[in-house]
Amino acid sequence: MKKYLLTPGPTPLPDEVRKALALPIIHHRTPEFQKIFIRVNEGLKYLFQTQNDIFTFAGSGTAAMEAAVVNLLSANDTAIAVCGGKFGERWREICQAYNVKVISIDVEWGKAVEPAEIKRLLAEHKETKAVFTTLCETSTGVTNDIKTIAEIVKASPAALVVDAVSGLGAEELQTDKWGVDCVVAGSQKAMMLPPGLSFCSISPKARKAIESSKLPKYYFDLRKAKKALDKSDTTFTPPVSLIVALAEALDLIKKEGLENVFKRHKIMAESARGALLALGFKLFSETFCNVVTAAYTPEGIDSTQLVKLLRDKYGVSIANGQEQFKGKLIRLAHLGYIQPSDIITGISAIEKALSELGYKVESKKSVHAAERIFDNYFKGAKK
Amino acid sequence: MKKYLLTPGPTPLPDEVRKALALPIIHHRTPEFQKIFIRVNEGLKYLFQTQNDIFTFAGSGTAAMEAAVVNLLSANDTAIAVCGGKFGERWREICQAYNVKVISIDVEWGKAVEPAEIKRLLAEHKETKAVFTTLCETSTGVTNDIKTIAEIVKASPAALVVDAVSGLGAEELQTDKWGVDCVVAGSQKAMMLPPGLSFCSISPKARKAIESSKLPKYYFDLRKAKKALDKSDTTFTPPVSLIVALAEALDLIKKEGLENVFKRHKIMAESARGALLALGFKLFSETFCNVVTAAYTPEGIDSTQLVKLLRDKYGVSIANGQEQFKGKLIRLAHLGYIQPSDIITGISAIEKALSELGYKVESKKSVHAAERIFDNYFKGAKK
C-alpha cells in the first residue's frame, strides 16, 4: 500500500534526501564534511532569514528548546511563557525544571496570544529576562503574531525566543527584520528531513544573555558550540548522514525559493480548510496556520476511529487531537514536501472513511474542493 | 576514489543499513513503528547483555553521558571519575558542569586504571554516589577492567556507570553478569550506524538513584522516558530513520552472533597491531582494545602528515592522536563493519604513505602481516 504522511512531523522525504541518507558515511573531521557543513550553515541562514549564528544539535526539537532555556537564563530568573497548546506549555515545563520563575500567559487552546498581554506583563515585570512563544502551535493549528510580539519585546531587555519547530519554512518568520533573538527549529517538518536534528539561532542580544547565564549545561553549551561553529565544526560528533541530507533539502528550498515555498504551503492549507469545511468539519481556530489544520470531526464521528481507519485502510496518516481534544479533533498537516496530489489523496480518503463510519457525505462538494486546490496551485505557482 | 573508514566512529555502514536509511519515512506513533521499536529494544538487550531498560536518545554519545549524570546525581553529591584520556575526562567535565564533587583518578594516558585505586577511594569516601569510567578509551586505545571494577563497586552504595560508547559490541561487556548499573553507548561505532543515537541502560540500583536525583533536566529526564518506554514509546519524536536502520543493524549482529562479532574484532585488532609493529610503529599502550590501536609513528614521521596523505591520496581515513599526542600518534580503528580486506587496504596504504614520507619500509614484513590477518580470520571465523 502506498503511504501518505499528512502529519505535522515527520513529513515525507524527497528522493534527493532519501538518496543522500543512503550514501556511504564520511568522517566529520575532514575537509569533505566541512565543505558540506559550510553549505548547510549558509542554507540555514537563508531559511531562517538571518545573519545570526545557527547552532545544530543532534536531538529532537525539544533538545533545542532546552538549549535556549539553559543558555539564556539562570535559576530564579523571570521569564514569560505563552501557553496556548501542548508546545507552548513545554516552554513552561522546561523553565520550571530549571527553577526559572515563569509567568504563564494561558491562552485558550485554539486562540492566538494577544501581543498587548505580553506588553502589559513586560511593563509589570521589568526583571523579565526572556519571552518564550510559538510560531505555529502544532497542537491547535494556530499562528501567533510574532512580528508584533517582536516589536514589543525588542523595546525591553528581554530576549524573544520563538519555537518555530513546526513553523519554520512553512510560515513567514523574518528573524532579523522582525528582531527575533532565538529561533528554535526541527528537521522533520518543513525541512523535509527525518527527525534527529534541531537548531537554534542566536542574536547579539541573546549572545549577551548567554554570557551571564548560570544554568548548568554541557551537551547544550552554546559557548563551546560557538567556538566550534566559528571553525565550521561541531562540539560533538554530528549526525553526519542527516547533515548530508540537510544540504540537499536546503538546496531544494533555495531552488524553489522561500517565497514560493511559503506560497505553496499557504495554498495547500487554504485548500485543505476548504475541503474539510465542505465535508462537514468545523475549524478549531480562527487564526489559521500553514502547518496543520485542526478541525472538529462532523457530528457523531470519533476522530480516533477516523484516524485509525484512514491509516489502516487508506494508507493516509493524519494526526488526532492532543490532550483534551483526543477523539474530537483531527489535525491534517500540509507540511513539507507536499503537493496538491497529496491533499487530494488525503481529502478523498477522509470522504470515503467518513462515509464508512456512517456519516452522510455529499461527494460532489469534496470533488469541487479538490478542483479548487489544483486551480489555485497551478495559477499561483511559479513554473 | 573508493573510501575506507578506519576511524573510531563514524564507521562504515553495511548495505542493509544504508537501504533502511533510504526508506520512505514512517510516523512514530503507529503500530508499524512500535513493532520496529520493540524489535530494537529486544536487539539492544542482546547487544548490551542485559535485562535492564535501555533508553534511546536522539543525540550524540555525550548526550547519553550527560543523561547518566543528571539522572543519577544531585548537586554536591560525590562521584569518582576515572580520567585516563579525553573521554574519561569528559565524565569529570560533565560532573563539574552540574556541581557534582568529583574525585578524579588521573590515570596516565595509555594506561588502564588500577581497580584497587577505586576500591581505596570508595572506602575513603563512603558518600560516593557514582563511579564513572570507560570501557575502551578511544583517545588512547586502552581497555579498562570493568569486570573487576564492577565487583568492587557492587559492594558499595555507588552506581557504576561505564562509557561504552566506542566499546559496546567490540569488547566484552557483560552488563548483568558483571553488574554494571549504567552502560552508555553510541550508534556510530560497533552498531554500524550513522551518528545521531545514544543509549543508556539502567539497573535496579541505578533506578533507585534516579528516584532521589535532584539535578535539573527535561530532555534527558529518565523518569518520563521510563513511562514512555513501558509503552514501547519515546518521550519525544525519535529519529525514525536511524531507528529503522538500527533494527537492521541489530539483526546483523544477532545473525553473526555476539561472540563471533567480538572474535572478529579481536582478530582485526591483533592483526592491525602485528602489521603496525612490522612497519616500525611503537604501540602506545600495554592494555589493548578491540576498538582502536594507538601507535607512535616511526622516527621522523609526523602523524598529522601521515593521516592527511592517507586520506587525500589513498582514500583511507584513520585518526590522529588527540590533545598532546596530535602529530605523534596514529589511531587505527578496526571497529564495526570491518573485515580483513579493510585492514589489508589500510596497512598497505600506510606502508606506501610511509615510504613516500621518506621512511624506509621493508615491504615483505607488511605483506607477511597481511597474510597473518587472513590466516587468523579464516581459521577463527564461523562459516
Which residues of chain A lie closer than 8 angstroms to B195, CB-CB? 28, 58, 237-240
pLDDT over 60 at A381, yes or no: no
Query: The domain B257-380 is classified under which CATH number: 3.40.718.10, 3.90.1150.10, 2.40.50.140, 3.40.50.300?
Result: 3.90.1150.10
- The larger pLDDT score, comparing residue A365 to residue A109, is at A109
Which residues of chain B lie closer than 8 angstroms to A237, CB-CB? 9-10, 60-61, 186, 188, 195
Q: Which residue of A has its CA nearest to B100?
A: A216
Distance (Å, whole) CA B12 – CA A132: 41
- The larger pLDDT score, comparing residue B274 to residue B78, is at B78
Distance from CA of A261 to the nearest CA of B (A): 21
Nearest to B237 among A23, A58, A60 (CB): A60
Cα distances from B365 to residues A133, B163, B309, B356, B370, in angstroms, run: 66, 37, 22, 17, 9
Encoded amino acid at B72, one letter: L
Q: Is B12 in contact with A3 (Cβ distance < 8 A)?
A: no
Cα distances from B120 to residues A373, B85, B180, in angstroms, run: 74, 21, 19
How much is the pLDDT for B361?
85
Q: Of all residues in chain B, what percent carry a pLDDT higher than 70? A: 97
Same fold? B15-256, B257-380 = no
Q: Within 13 A of B301's CA, how many CA atoms are on the CB side?
A: 28
Nearest to B58 among A12, A60, A317 (CB): A60
How much is the pLDDT for B362?
78
Strand B329-333 relative to strand B319-320, pairing: antiparallel
Nearest to A216 by CA among A129, A102, A130, A98: A98
**Average pLDDT value for residue range A181-206:** 98
Distance (Å, whole) CA A191 – CA A265: 13
Nearest to A62 among B10, B63, B219 (CB): B219
pLDDT over 80 at B383, yes or no: no
Nearest to A195 by CA among B108, B261, B298, B238: B238
Q: Which residue of A has its CA nearest to B27?
A: A10
Confidence of residue A365 (pLDDT cuts 50, 70, 90): confident
Distance from CA of A106 to the nearest CA of B (A): 21
pTM of the model: 0.96
Pairs across A and B, CB distance < 8 A: 161
Confidence of residue A362 (pLDDT cuts 50, 70, 90): confident
How much is the pLDDT for A383?
43
**Average pLDDT value for residue range B167-180:** 98
Q: Of all residues in chain B, what percent carry a pLDDT higher than 90? A: 90
How much is the ipTM here? 0.96
3-state helix vs strand vs coil in chain A, percent to 5 = 45, 15, 35
| Each residue's pLDDT tens digit, A137-174 | 999 999 999 999 999 999 999 999 999 999 999 999 99
Least confident interval from A146-160, A334-348, A351-365, B44-58: A351-365
Q: Is A196 in contact with B58 (Cβ distance < 8 A)?
A: yes
To 5 degrees, how large is the angle CA A106–CA A110–CA A112? 65
| Each residue's pLDDT tens digit, B305-364 | 999 999 999 999 999 999 999 999 999 999 999 998 899 899 999 999 999 999 988 776
Q: Which residue of A has its CA nearest to B58?
A: A59
**Average pLDDT value for residue range B159-183:** 98
Confidence of residue B69 (pLDDT cuts 50, 70, 90): very high
Q: Is A60 in contact with B25 (Cβ distance < 8 A)?
A: no
Nearest to A63 among B28, B58, B93 (CB): B58
pLDDT over 90 at A374, yes or no: no
Q: Is B239 in contact with A10 (Cβ distance < 8 A)?
A: no
Q: Is A216 in contact with B217 (Cβ distance < 8 A)?
A: no
- The larger pLDDT score, comparing residue A372 to residue A105, is at A105
- The larger pLDDT score, comparing residue A227 to residue A288, is at A227
Angle between helices B240-256 and B31-48 (to 10 degrees): 40
| Each residue's pLDDT tens digit, A294-324 | 999 999 999 999 999 999 999 999 999 999 9
Which residues of chain B lie closer than 8 angstroms to A98, CB-CB? 216, 218
Cβ atoms B320, B304 nearer than 8 A? yes
Confidence of residue B365 (pLDDT cuts 50, 70, 90): confident
Phi first, then psi, for residue B311 (nearest 5°) are: -70, -50
pLDDT over 60 at B380, yes or no: no
Nearby residues of B312 by Cβ (< 8 Å), 6 or more positions away: none
Cβ atoms B118, B160 nearer than 8 A? no
CA distance between the termini of chain A? 31
Confidence of residue A372 (pLDDT cuts 50, 70, 90): confident
pLDDT over 70 at B367, yes or no: no
Cα distances from B330 to residues A105, A326, B302, in angstroms, run: 57, 57, 9
Q: Is B66 in contact with A237 (Cβ distance < 8 A)?
A: no
Q: How many CB atoms lie within 10 A of CB B29?
A: 14
CA distance between the termini of chain B? 31
Nearest to B67 by CA among B218, B189, B212, B211: B218
C-alpha cell of B339? 573485515
| Each residue's pLDDT tens digit, B86-113 | 999 999 999 999 999 999 999 999 999 9
Q: How many CB atoms lie within 10 A of CB A227?
A: 12
C-alpha cell of A113? 496570544
Residue that is written with C-alpha cell 587505527 in the block: B332
Length of chain A in terms of residues written: 383
| Each residue's pLDDT tens digit, A5-51 | 999 999 999 999 999 999 999 999 999 999 999 999 999 999 999 99
To 5 degrees, how large is the angle CA A195–CA A200–CA A206? 165
Distance (Å, whole) CA B329 – CA B309: 15
Confidence of residue B369 (pLDDT cuts 50, 70, 90): confident
Strand A329-333 relative to strand A292-296, pairing: antiparallel
Distance (Å, whole) CA A346 – CA A343: 5
Which residues of chain B lie closer than 8 angstroms to A239, CB-CB? 60, 194-196, 239, 242
How much is the pLDDT for A245?
98
Best of B236, B248, B314 to disrupt the A interface (most A CBs within 10 Å) is B236
Which residues of chain B lie closer than 8 angstroms to A217, CB-CB? 97
Distance from CA of B6 to the nearest CA of A (A): 10
**Per-domain boundaries in chain A:** 15-256, 257-380
How much is the pLDDT for A286?
86
Q: Is B211 helix (H, G, I), strand (E, B) or coil?
A: helix
Q: Is A97 in contact with B196 (Cβ distance < 8 A)?
A: no
**Average pLDDT value for residue range B184-213:** 98
Architecture in CATH of A15-256: 3-Layer(aba) Sandwich (3.40)
Distance (Å, whole) CA A22 – CA A166: 25
Distance (Å, whole) CA B310 – CA B12: 17
**Average pLDDT value for residue range A207-211:** 98
How much is the pLDDT for A368?
76
Distance (Å, whole) CA B133 – CA B84: 9
